[in-house]
A and B are shown apart, each in its own frame.
Chain A
Amino acid sequence: MGKTVLMQGNEACVEGALAAGMRLYAGYPITPSTEIAEFSAVRLPQVGGKFIQMEDEIASIACAIGGSVAGVKSMTATSGPGFSLKQENLGYACLAEIPLVVVDVQRAGPSTGLPTSPSQGDIMMARWGTHGDHPVIAIAPSSVSEAYNLAIRCFNLAEKYRTPVLFMMDEIIGHLREGIEIPDHVEVIDRPTVDYPDAKRMPYQIKEGQLVPKMAAFGEGQRYNITGLIHDESGFPTNSTEEAEKLVTRLMHKISDNYDDIVQVDQVNMEDAEVAIVCYGGTMRAAITAMEKARAKGIKCGIFRPITIWPFPERELLAASEKLKKVVVAEHNYGQIVLEVERIIKNNCKLGFVGKVNGTVITPEEILAKVEED
């Protein structure tokens, strides 16, 4: 393995992205994600990549989509208010199937909220923020190491499935410094490219055995059309009801049919657990300490942590809930993922909730209290 270095979460995100092949970053300053722009500005030109500070959040995601269309792996990063602004073009990238990574270092909202305080209040916006039915992949890191390694995974999934991937960081991890081991080698996946002249004129056609349509970069000679309108395999707009249904269905299924490849969940001490803490992102750190304290008190406590938030690991949670007495959901919001958990576990076991919206961090004791509650 490689050497261990001290890194901040936001910096690790950039280094992971670079290792995955990011060569264009477009962004706008916003706390607490700004360091991602700052590190990108330093690092990208050093490796022949491009950094640009755009005039606003909307332009930033548009610019990153443009970069990807020209064949360059691209990323943008923001925080709550900026994530709201990016939603329209996020939908564009979903529909037009443009690989892209969007980082949201979540902060307390709503509106301008508490700019420097941690939150996980954007987790439902990640799923439903842009209009219309669309597929989504969202991933949340719980350590600085994961900020690095999962940033790579975000790019790999974006390229493999030709879709934007949301990296749902939070202030806790974004601003945390830890030692991380930089691997000597990382697995990098690139988008499926076009075999000429085969794909000419049918840029959205999928042949046997393909997950997604092959993608040509602008300038390579395919001269195809990309649109945010419902389109057929030719890439041109259509009003056909059949084509509309076919396209949206295919987009939804390219994610849901590959659940096993996309969904990752971290289950800690779940073998004998009677109580499970369900948490994600930075909240995991309090959960670990809470679980240790509970175990010390003789409570069979485990942790169920979705690494992939969307699609939500519902199969694993349903299976786990059948053996549990109680699930305690801990998240830095007024109750978002807990609704998903409630839907999945039905009445298999009891459900407790620890939420926080005052900008402070959920403590291990607060989780422990819910774990101990009857």
Chain B
Amino acid sequence: MAKMELRLAGSGGQGVILATVILAEAAVIAGKQTAQSQSYGPEARGGSCKAEVIISDEAIGFTKVQHPTFLMALTQKALETYCHNLPEECIVLIDDTLTAPEELKGHNVIKLPILSTAAEKVGKAFTANIVAVGAINGLLHLVDHADLEKAVMLHIPKGTEALNLAALQAGIAMEGDVKKPAKAAKKAKV
């Protein structure tokens, strides 16, 4: 697997940091190299926040994401904050309630109903990050879904296993909605 540099952005409290921790955990379970870091301080408590995870088969030197291969944004503000200077090949996943800015024209922008799936299908809005984790793995095939499931189970409160499993499955299932990212990008409204 080529080195994947993922940046996840949202508003504080949406759980994007945990989402990157889970992806990093899954990478470790799968025997891959990983480096996860996040923005700290006031922005992690309400403003736009970002978290990053690098996953690779090779040892990781610099631990910060420099050339994102993937960006996910769950709020319009986070999207507009972090959409700049993305490499051409960077895949952008946004919630379907967001509007991709002009700057992302030519990018592979995928819209998926992450927030509404969590709130309506799964029934709990706070599971959006787990839905997202499933969707990301569905799109990028970072690890086996089984390893991802193990990682999710390590990072959720006791008693919420069934709920989070449902969220994860719902996210993974979104892969069906996006057969090929390249085609999806053409369909996506930009």
Contacts from A to B (Cβ < 8 Å):
4-6, 31-32, 115-116, 172, 175-179, 282, 285-289, 292, 361, 363-364
Beyond A31-B41, A115-B41, whether A179 also contacts B62 by CB under 8 A is no
> B37: CB under 8 A from chain A?
yes
17 CB < 8 A contacts A-B: A4-B28, A4-B31, A6-B24, A6-B25, A31-B40, A31-B41, A115-B41, A116-B41, A177-B21, A178-B36, A179-B27, A179-B28, A289-B62, A363-B62, A363-B64, A363-B66, A364-B66
B27 with A175: CB separation less than 8 A = no
Residues from chain A with Cβ under 8 Å of B40 in the complex: 31-32, 116, 175
> How far does the alpha carbon of A286 sit from the alpha carbon of B66 in the complex, in Å?
11
* A282 neighbours in B (Cβ, 8 Å): 63
B33–A175 touching, CB < 8 Å = no
Per-residue A-contact encoding for B1-45, CB less than 8 Å = 1, 0 else:
000000000000000000001001101100111111111110000
| 9 residue pairs, one from A and one from B, having the closest CB atoms | A288-B61, A179-B28, A289-B61, A116-B40, A177-B36, A116-B41, A289-B62, A6-B28, A6-B25
Number of A-B contacts (CB under 8 A): 63
Known: A6-B21, A178-B34. 4 other contacts (CB 8 A): A6-B34, A32-B40, A179-B27, A364-B66
CB-based nearest A residue for B63: A285
Determine the chain A residues whose CB is within 8 A of the CB of B21 once the complex forms: 6, 177
Contacts of B24 in A (CB 8 A): 6, 177-179
Q: Provide the residues of chain A in CB contact with B25, threshold 8 Å.
A: 6
**Number of B residues whose C-beta is below 8 Å from A?**
22
Residues of A within 8 A of B61 (CB): 285-289, 292, 364
Interface of A is mostly: mixed
Q: Are B66 and A176 in contact (CB under 8 A)?
A: no
Q: Please state if B62 and A286 are interface contacts (CB–CB under 8 Å).
A: yes
A175 to B20, CA, bound (A): 13
- Complex partner residue of B38 from A4, A175, A363, CB under 8 angstroms: A175
A32 to B66, CA, bound (A): 23
Residues of B within 8 A of A6 (CB): 21, 24-25, 28, 34, 36
Considering the chains assembled together, what is the distance between the CA atoms of A4 and B29 in angstroms? Answer: 8
Given the complex, which residues of B lie within 8 Å of A179, measured CB to CB?
A: 24, 27-28, 32-34
Assess the B66–A177 pair: CB atoms within 8 A.
no
A172, closest chain B residue (CB): B63
B27: which A residues are within 8 A, CB to CB? 179
Chain B nearest Cβ from A164, distance in angstroms: 28
> Which among A32, A178, A282 has the highest number of chain B CB atoms within 10 Å?
A178
Report how far A4 CA is from B25 CA in the complex, Å: 10
User: Contacts A5-B28, A176-B36, A178-B34; is A285 near B41 (CB within 8 Å)?
Assistant: no
B37→A176 contact, CB < 8 A: yes
Residues of A within 8 A of B64 (CB): 361, 363
Checking B32, B35, B39 against A177 with a beta-carbon cut-off of 8 angstroms, the contacting residue is B35
Chain A residues near B38 (CB-CB < 8 A): 175
Most A C-beta atoms less than 10 A away, residue of B27, B28, B63, B66: B63
Interface residues in B36-66 by Cβ distance below 8 A to A read 36-41, 60-64, 66
